[in-house]
Structures are given as structure tokens and as C-alpha cells.
Amino acid sequence: MSVIELNNINKYFGSGVSKVHVLHDINFSADRGELILVVGPSGSGKSTFLTIAGGLQTPTSGEVSVEGKSMAKLSTAQRDKLRLNQIGFVLQSYSLVPYLKVKEQFDFVNKVKRQGNLNQAELKELLVQLGIENLTNKFPGELSGGQTQRVAIARALFANPDIVLADEPTAALDSARVAEVGKLFKELAKTRDKAVVVVTHDVRLMEFADKTYQIMDGKMTQATNKQPAK
Amino acid sequence: MYLALKEIRHEKLRYGLIISMIVLIAYLIFILTGLAFGLAGENSQAVDSWHAKSIVLNKDSNVSLTQSVITTDQAKDAKLSSKEAVIGSTPVVAKHKGKEKVSASFIGAKKSQFIINDLKISAGRKARGNHEVVVDQKFKDDGYKLGDKVTLNSFNDQYQIVGFTKNAKLNVAPVIYGTIPSWKHLRAMEGVPVVGSAIVSKNAKYHAKDGHLKTYSISYFISKLPGYSAENTTFGFMIGFLMIISLIIIAVFLYILTMQALPIYAVLRAQGIPARTLVSTITSQSLILMVAGLVIGAVLTAATASVIPIGVPMSFNLPVLTWISIGLLIMGFIGSAIPAQKIATVDPVKVIGG
Ligand SMILES: Nc1ncnc2c1ncn2[C@@H]1O[C@H](COP(=O)(O)OP(=O)(O)O)[C@@H](O)[C@H]1O
Ligand SMILES: [Mg+2]
């Protein structure tokens, strides 16, 4: 069973003459261990897709389900909980609290979500894997773009979610860093058994994806279908 | 609480500025309240020291002690127990050659009744005859000593100061305690059938049984002292306005800080952090700022009180200051309401993919 599934999703914004059809009959699913890329130009509906998948907004029609449970049936509080426990967001910016040191970003998660997070040894291992184990006493303002993005990834993975949703995670990075992040996502999906969904206009990430969808004017098509390596 | 403290610690300058504003306001409110109570005290100290519950005045006196006269005829049915005392009051100017003139309130009372009986003497003794008086400590501050003889108004009679008493002020003027016959003399009413200006009683329901006389509660009587209500209303308004100013300052600061931090709150909401946790961050920040401001303000006030000159009437009433502090805390709480509302309703979608 796919860990997240979107069935026949349509999304309209506005009404009357200004009504826009942003997502057309989207069908999408992601499995654990996969890095799935959704590539499309700016304004094609990527962020709308991702926020619907993450339960931040509701589709006009269609159904989103996580681990087989329909999101439409959840209350706001239950949806908060689902995001806290099962979904990790990695965003282009602002992912970190500016006045918390790197290690405090994790402490804060521990205060809000009291169980199911990585323990100190696991966190250490993750930080080493991401190459940021020496940055724990720094504030986000003291980090470079690449370091910030890796800390944000660590922050998302710390809560040990089933799904990682990333929106333009490479926007601020140069090619070398892009390749690094691409490799990292692919590796994390494998080693940590997560479904990693990345929406981006950055085609440089495509070579790392297990599956790539293309989105254009709100219509999604599967571009390549590599078999996920076991 | 975690985020609240971390943010304050990280943004010391910003929050330091807000706290210093609150310190100034709290300090101003505390000092003003001290002055208000100091002045109010000097209006009514003497009356307060009697611990009376009611006062009987001539009903045509407009609740003014100095305007009221009770005749022998009006008083003939009034039963005086040990809880009642007759007083005669008149404003006087006391003089002693070579010393400053002192405007004072003369209060004549009977030795056998509770006002003189209960009078606390801080130095010297109580008066024995018509030409002896006990005066408020203020005379001592003005250079008068036990044994000094003063003349009152333009009369030639000399009154010897035989004792001092503390906290005896009426209408901001120091009190001179003398006898009823001296009072009659000062009012030029010798031979006139009057008993005094008023009957004060420790019984709230005391009734003098004469149509010309009326019983008032002491608190009402004090509120009718000349200038008393106007003064208190003025101070009340100033303190009220300062409260509102503090509310606006904290609300505006928190609002600006919150609006700047809204994208962060939005991301935290996207990450599933409950709105409650984030709202409690802003409310606890507001309360932390207020408490810090109040504590520093209180320390400054205490420091000021210890160096203030004796002549400045200041009195710090702890329960009232506590209520004012609680009031300011409530202002802080209200001030965080709008930012809290912004945080609670922030839409994470707005900051994602922007
Ligand atoms: N809240 C909204 N109201 C109206 N139109 C919106 C709203 N959000 C997004 N859109 C429109 O939907 C389209 C897709 O937006 P978005 O999902 O952000 O694209 P992408 O992330 O691919 O750049 C755009 O044309 C955008 O203007
Ligand atoms: Mg976008």
C-alpha cells in the first residue's frame, strides 16, 4: 500500500469569471523508500499540489489519504497531529526558527511531540550523515544556504515521519550543492525508508529520482519510470 | 514558554527596549499612586486616626465640618455614649515670633471623650487646660518645640504646645488639638449656646434625634472634604490613562514583532505545531515583559521612596499597588490578544512555495 495517495484531485481558486482550475484530475501515489520528483515550471501548480498532499489545504474534489486514512475525515487538530507525526516539510526558506540554535530546533520538536522522535544517538548519526554534526551550536543566521537546507532536512527527519514533502529545496543552491541534496534525498529515502516527494522546477534533480512526474498547467504526467532499486 | 524565553534571550535589544518602556510606565504609575495616596492621606489622616464610622453635622452645613454648628438645643436629645465625641473645628493660623506661620486646623474636643482619650502622643503629654494644645508633628518639622507658645489668628491668647502627635492632618493642614471652650473663643461664640461643630461616632448607625442634624458615613464625609474628590479623580484619570498607554505600547510592539515573525509561525503550523503552543508563546512573552517591567519599576519606586524629601506627601499602599500590578498584567494579556489572533489564524499555505 502506498503511504500517500491522491485520487482525482481537482483544485479551483476564485469563483465566477475569475475562477481558475489549478489542478486537473491529479492521481499520485508514493511509496516508502522512493524519491519522487514533481517537476514543472513556475505557476504550474506544484505548491498547490504539495500543500494539498500535506493537508494544509483541501482539494475542491478528490481524496487524499495517508496510510489508507482519508484526510477529509480528519479535524483540524487531527490534521495538525498527522503533520506533526507523519509528515516532514522542507521548504525553500524560513524552515528554521531563527532564534533557536541548531540543537534547540530539535529540542523544541521534543517539547511539542513527546514521543516517536529520534533519540540522541540516532540524531547524532543523522547529523553525521548530513555532515552538519559540528553546527549544533550555531543559529540559523550563521549558516550558509546549503547548511541551512541540510539542517532543515534534519529537522524534518528528526520527528521520524513517514513522508517528507519538499518544496523547491534547491532554490538557493549552486549545482554542486544541488547534486549533494539530490543524492542525500535519495539516500535518506532508502536508508530511512521514507517516501520523499520533492516538487521543483529544478531539472538538475531528475537524475536522482526514482520516479518523476511532470506537471504543466495543473496536469500531471509520469515522465520516466525508473524501478526503485531494492 | 520555551520559544518565548529563547526569543527574548536572542533579541535582547528589542525586548530590552520594550521592558524599559514598561519600567518607565510602571514607575510613573507607582509614584503617582504614592502621591495620590500621600495627598489623600493628608486630607483625611486625622479623621482616619479617630477610627469613627459616622459623623453628625448640621444638615445645612453642606457636609462641611467648618461650616457646621450644633446648638445646645439641637443636641439636647442626643445620647452620647463612650462611642461618641463632640468636636469643634475651625481653620487657624498659628504664630510664634521668629518662626514661620503655620496654617492649621484647630480641633476642640473633650478630654473625657474618645478623640482625646485615644490620642497617641509621640512626645510630651496631653493638654490639661484651655491654654494647652497638642499639635501635629509638622510643627516640629517647622521648628516648633515643646513649651513653645503660639497665638492663633489675631487673638492675643497664648497656647502652649505640650505634646506632639503623628499623622494628624486634616485638609492637608496640621491639626491643633485643644478644648471646646478654646474653639468657642476662636469662633467668637463665647456665651452662645452651641456644643461644637459635629458629633463623631464609632457607631455607623448613630442618630442624633434632631431634625436639624444629619448623620453621614465617615467615608462620605471624607469624600466631601474640599478638593478631596477632585484630586482623587485627577489621579485616577492619570493612572487610568497610563494603564491604557501601557496597553497600547505592549499591543503595538507585540503586533509588530508578530507580523515580522508570521512566516515562521506559518511554517511551524505547517510542521504540525499546534496553534495553542504558538499562541501561548506570545501571551507568555507579554506576561514576561510585564512582570520584568513591574519588578524593575517597583525596585526603582522603592529606591525613590527611600530618598524622597519628608515634605513630599507619599504613601505606598501595598494592596493598591498589587492591584495596579495585576491591572498592568491584564493589560499585557489583552495587548497580546490581537497578535495571538494573528498567529492562531495564520495560513501556512501563504508562505509555502511563495
Ligand atoms: N490562493 C490562491 N488564489 C488564487 N490563485 C492561486 C492561489 N494559490 C495559487 N494560485 C494560482 O495557482 C497557480 C499555481 O500556483 P502554485 O501552486 O503556487 O504554482 P508553483 O508552485 O508551481 O509555482 C498559479 O497560477 C497561482 O497564481
Ligand atoms: Mg511554488
B264 reaches A (C-beta below 8 A) = yes
C-beta atoms of A91 and B11 within 8 A:
no
Model confidence at B183: pLDDT above 90: yes
Please list, residue by residue across A154-185, b when 16 or more beta carbons sit within 10 angstroms of its beta carbon and e when fewer do. Answer: bbbbbbbbbbbbbbbbbeebeeebbbbbbebb
Residue A229 DSSP code: P
pLDDT range class, residue B353, cuts 50, 70, 90: low
Of A89, A92, A168, the CB nearest to B270: A89
Question: What was the pLDDT predicted at A224?
Answer: 59
User: Residue A66: inside a domain, yes or no?
Assistant: yes
Per-residue pLDDT tens over the stretch B125-152: 999 999 999 999 999 988 999 999 999 9
Which among A49, A38, A48, A91 has a CA at the least distance from the CA of A201? A38
Q: Which three cell numbers stand for residue B89?
A: 473645628
Per-residue pLDDT tens over the stretch A19-29: 999 999 999 99
Using DSSP bridges, classify how beta strands B102-109 and B173-178 pair: parallel, antiparallel or unpaired.
parallel
Model confidence at B108: pLDDT above 60: yes
What's chain A's Rg over C-alpha atoms?
Answer: 17
Model confidence at A1: pLDDT above 80: no
Which ligand lies nearest to the CA atom of residue A49 in the structure? 1
| pTM, rounded to two decimals | 0.79
Which among B250, B238, B258 has a CA at the least distance from the CA of B330? B250
Q: How far apart are CA A72 and CA A196, in angstroms?
A: 22
Q: Which residues contact B139 (CB under 8 A, 6 or more apart)?
A: B94, B102, B161, B164, B174
Question: What was the pLDDT predicted at A171?
Answer: 81
A79 touches ligand 1 (CB under 6 Å) = no
Q: Which residues contact A53 (CB under 8 A, 6 or more apart)?
A: A4, A6, A28, A64, A165, A197
A120 touches ligand 1 (CB under 6 Å) = no
Question: What was the pLDDT predicted at A226?
Answer: 52
Model confidence at B185: pLDDT above 90: yes
Please provide the average confidence, as pLDDT, over all residues in chain B. 92
Q: What percent of chain B is predicted at pLDDT more than 90?
A: 72
Model confidence at A166: pLDDT above 60: yes
A83 touches ligand 1 (CB under 6 Å) = no
B276 reaches A (C-beta below 8 A) = no
Report phi then psi at B275, rounded to 5.
-55, -35
Q: How far apart are CA A39 and CA A213, in angstroms?
A: 6
Strand, coil or helix: B290:
helix
Question: What average pLDDT does this structure show over B280-298?
Answer: 94
Per-residue pLDDT tens over the stretch B65-95: 999 999 999 999 889 999 999 999 999 999 9
Question: What average pLDDT does this structure show over A153-158?
Answer: 93
Question: Across the A/B interface, how many CB contacts are shorter than 8 Å?
Answer: 82
Sort out which chain B residues have CB atoms less than 8 A from A151's CB and list them: none
Model confidence at A198: pLDDT above 70: yes
Other Cβ atoms less than 10 A from the Cβ of B101: the count is 11
Yes or no: say if B147 and B96 are a contact pair by the CB < 8 Å rule: no
| Interface residues from chain A to B (CB-CB < 8 Å) | 46-48, 50-51, 54, 56-57, 77, 80-85, 87-89, 91-95, 97-100, 104, 107-108, 111-113, 139, 156, 167-168, 199
- How many degrees, rounded to 5, is the angle at CA B83 between CA B80 and CA B87? 70
For the CA of A201, the closest atom of ligand 1 is 22
Q: What percent of chain A is predicted at pLDDT more than 70?
A: 97
Which chain B residue's Cα is nearest to A49? B353
Sort out which chain A residues have CB atoms less than 8 A from B352's CB and list them: 47, 50-51, 56, 89, 91, 167
Per-residue pLDDT tens over the stretch A128-140: 988 999 999 999 9
Question: What was the pLDDT predicted at A227?
Answer: 47
Other Cβ atoms less than 10 A from the Cβ of B296: the count is 17
Best interface-test mutation with A: which of B5, B8, B12, B271 has the largest number of A CBs within 10 A? B271
Per-residue pLDDT tens over the stretch B249-264: 888 988 998 898 898 9
Sort out which chain A residues have CB atoms less than 8 A from B267's CB and list them: 89, 91, 94-95
B6 reaches A (C-beta below 8 A) = yes
User: Residue A230: inside a domain, yes or no?
Assistant: no
Question: What average pLDDT does this structure show over A204-224?
Answer: 91
Q: How far apart are CA B11 and CA B16, in angstroms?
A: 8
How many structural domains compose chain A? 1
Q: CA-based diameter of chain A, in Å?
A: 57
Q: How far apart are CA B58 and CA B44, in angstroms?
A: 20
Q: What percent of chain B is predicted at pLDDT more than 70?
A: 99
Residue B61 DSSP code: S
For the CA of A168, the closest atom of ligand 1 is 21
Question: What was the pLDDT predicted at A212?
Answer: 95
Q: How far apart are CA B41 and CA B35, in angstroms?
A: 9
CATH number, domain at A80? Answer: 3.40.50.300
- Residue A51 Cα, ligand 1 centroid: separation in angstroms? 11
Question: What was the pLDDT predicted at B326?
Answer: 93
Q: How far apart are CA A66 and CA A77, in angstroms?
A: 16
CA distances from B87 to B57, B107, B113, B198, B326 (A): 10, 6, 10, 5, 41
Yes or no: say if B91 and B225 are a contact pair by the CB < 8 Å rule: no
- Residue A190 Cα, ligand 2 centroid: separation in angstroms? 26
Question: What was the pLDDT predicted at B354?
Answer: 57
CA distances from B186 to B157, B159, B170, B303, B352 (A): 10, 12, 18, 44, 87
Q: Which domain holds residue A150?
A: 4-223
B344 reaches A (C-beta below 8 A) = no
Question: What average pLDDT does this structure show over B180-191?
Answer: 94
- Residue B354 Cα, ligand 2 centroid: separation in angstroms? 6
Model confidence at A201: pLDDT above 90: yes
Sort out which chain B residues have CB atoms less than 8 A from A85's CB and list them: 272
Tell me the range of B116-125, B228-237, B259-268 where mean pLDDT is highest: B116-125
- Per the listing, cell 484530475 goes with A25
User: Residue A184: inside a domain, yes or no?
Assistant: yes
Using DSSP bridges, classify how beta strands B84-95 and B198-201 pair: parallel, antiparallel or unpaired.
antiparallel
Per-residue pLDDT tens over the stretch A24-80: 999 999 999 999 999 999 999 999 999 999 999 999 999 999 999 999 999 989 999
Helices and strands (H and E) in chain A: how many: 6, 10
Of B6, B271, B351, the CB nearest to A104: B6
For the CA of A41, the closest atom of ligand 1 is 22
A11 touches ligand 1 (CB under 6 Å) = no
Which chain A residue's Cα is nearest to B264? A94
Phi/psi zone of residue B239: left (φ > 0), alpha (ψ -120 to 50 degrees), beta?
Answer: alpha
Model confidence at B311: pLDDT above 80: no
pLDDT range class, residue A230, cuts 50, 70, 90: very low
Question: What was the pLDDT predicted at B100?
Answer: 86
Lowest mean pLDDT among A139-148, A221-230, B322-331: A221-230
Question: What average pLDDT does this structure show over B17-25?
Answer: 93
Yes or no: say if B107 and B180 are a contact pair by the CB < 8 Å rule: no
A95 touches ligand 1 (CB under 6 Å) = no
Report phi then psi at A43, rounded to 5.
85, 5
What does the domain layout of chain B look like in residue ranges? 2-42+229-353, 54-203
